[in-house]
Amino acid sequence: MLSVLDTPARAVSELVLALSSAAEPLAGDAATGVAILLVVVLVRLLLLPLSLRAARAGRDRLALRPAELRLRERFRRDPVRLRRELAALHRSHGTSPFAGLGASLAQLPFFMVLYRLFSSPTLHGGANALFTHTLLGVPLSDRWLAAAGSGMLPAELLVFGAVFVLLLLVAWWSSRLAQRQATLGESPSSEAEVVMARVARVLPYGTVAVAAFVPLAAGLYLLFSGAWTTTERWLLNRDRPLPATA
């Protein structure tokens, strides 16, 4: 089924190979890993307008908190009317609980292409030149579960261990930022937002679980992109003021 991704995978392969060749004099055996990092930077720069829009939507939702509190007080005995009024309030200001998902969803196609690129030794029936590339001696097509099942070599233990430790650190930081956002007083305006707020604090750790099943190259993408997302969120929201409550 993933063979439908072979055409974009070939295009991404050419880009990664070119970047890897350029980085090899300085990066050596880590050149392909550096190339993946550079591609992540390129993808995230292209998605920056979506990230900025998400940050702006978050600030808009925070600014609406006083109006939300008034509506909650006015319609506290009529939950159906309250949900309708809150939805109308957010709609009139162009905000939505799902406004921050654009950049995340836009990354999914590239992640799938990268997964295909390091999961198949052939593309369109031809050899996949990247399939055998390594990071410090560990094939980028290797998976943690497969390596653990067959007994890890020292190089695999070092590389996979470093990736998982860094993924955990990024997940912890991202979860802390989600908790901070909650403590700033962004009162959920619907049951969906309550669930999303809880999921946002746990979801970052899902990347660690996913990384155990995907090729090392895809795990690197999760690490680099997650670090970018978390840093970006911190930079865009570090000066966000506490909302008024009256």
Contact 54, 239 (CB under 8 A): no
The Cα–Cα gap between 166 and 160 comes to 10
Question: Tens digit of pLDDT per residue, the chain (246 long)?
Answer: 567 888 888 889 999 999 999 999 999 989 999 999 999 999 999 888 888 877 777 677 667 777 877 887 888 788 888 888 877 877 777 676 565 666 677 888 888 998 998 998 988 888 888 888 999 989 999 999 888 877 777 888 899 999 999 999 999 999 888 777 666 544 454 555 566 667 777 888 999 999 999 999 999 999 999 999 899 888 877 765 544 443
What sign results for the dihedral spanned by CA atoms 50, 174, 135, 26? positive
Give residues with Cβ within 8 angstroms of 17, minimum separation 6: 35, 129, 130
Tell me the whole-structure pTM to 2 decimals.
0.79
Q: Which residue has the tokens 């055996």?
A: 29
First to last CA, the chain: 55
Q: Where are the domains of the chain?
A: 2-237
Q: What are phi and psi of 95, to 5 degrees?
A: -110, 165
